[in-house]
């Protein structure tokens, strides 16, 4: 009897933890050649990839966040972080668009390598979601 009770308790706690982790949803994550808009991302528009001589902006659109959640997006060249942006929510929001990048072009263009966006969502001081976009090379 005690074994069944412990099993049921473990099952319930596991389901609650899974439900909490599924609260935050990644709606869009990637790198584009301009500041993305919520409308573009919500419509599922395919955004153009940056080129070596265009701006490069990492973007993330996330939903189902709670008060106190911290969202961070970073633009990476290979494994080197180039730029990042962080926002801690003062209150729960339906969706949040966060971007990090450069509106201009570095002198001589972007260095060779693979670029990707990395998302980290932290809740109560613990990582809740960590995800990266597909790496792309700038033409």
Q: Give residue-wise pLDDT tens across range 58-91.
A: 999 999 999 999 999 999 999 999 999 999 998 8
Give the range among 90-94, 96-100, 132-136 with minimum mean pLDDT: 90-94
Q: For 39, list phi and psi in degrees, rounded to 5.
A: -60, -45
- Give the separation between CA 37 and CA 68, rounded to whole angstroms: 24
Q: What is the mean pLDDT of residues 127-133?
A: 97
Q: For residue 89, what is the DSSP state?
A: -
Quote the pLDDT of residue 19: 46
Residue 113, phi-psi category: left (phi > 0), alpha (psi -120 to 50), beta (remainder): left
| pLDDT value for 62 | 97
Q: For residues 55 and 65, give the distance between their C-alpha atoms in angstroms, rounded to a whole number.
A: 29
**Dihedral (Cα; 70, 128, 50, 100), 10-degree rounding:** 10
DSSP 113: S
Q: What is the pLDDT of residue 12?
A: 52
Is the CATH number of domain 24-137 2.60.40.10? yes
Question: In this model, does residue 129 exceed pLDDT 90?
Answer: yes
pLDDT at 2 over 60: no
Q: Are 102 and 53 in contact (CB under 8 A)?
A: no
Asked whether the predicted pLDDT for residue 119 surpasses 50, the reply is yes
Pairwise pLDDT comparison (132 vs 10), residue with the higher score: 132
Q: What is the H or E stretch that residue 63 is in?
A: strand 56-65
* Confidence (pTM): 0.82
Tell me the pLDDT tens digit for each residue of 4-56: 544 444 445 444 444 444 589 999 999 999 999 999 999 999 999 999 999 99
**Between residues 118 and 10, the one the model is more confident about:** 118
In this predicted structure, what is the pLDDT of residue 103?
A: 87
């Amino acid at each position: 009897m005690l074994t069944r009770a412990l099993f049921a308790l473990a099952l319930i706690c596991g389901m609650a933890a899974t439900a909490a982790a599924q609260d935050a949803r990644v709606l869009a994550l990637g790198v584009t050649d301009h500041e993305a808009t919520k409308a573009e991302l919500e419509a599922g528009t395919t955004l153009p990839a940056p080129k070596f001589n265009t701006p490069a902006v990492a973007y993330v659109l996330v939903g189902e966040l709670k008060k106190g959640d911290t969202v961070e997006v970073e633009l990476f060249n290979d494994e080197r972080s180039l730029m990042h942006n962080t926002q801690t929510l003062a209150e729960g929001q339906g969706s949040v668009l966060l971007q990090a990048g450069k509106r201009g072009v570095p002198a001589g263009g972007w260095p060779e390598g693979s670029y990707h966006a990395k998302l980290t969502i932290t809740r109560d001081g613990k990582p809740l979601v960590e995800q990266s976009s597909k790496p792309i090379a700038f033409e």
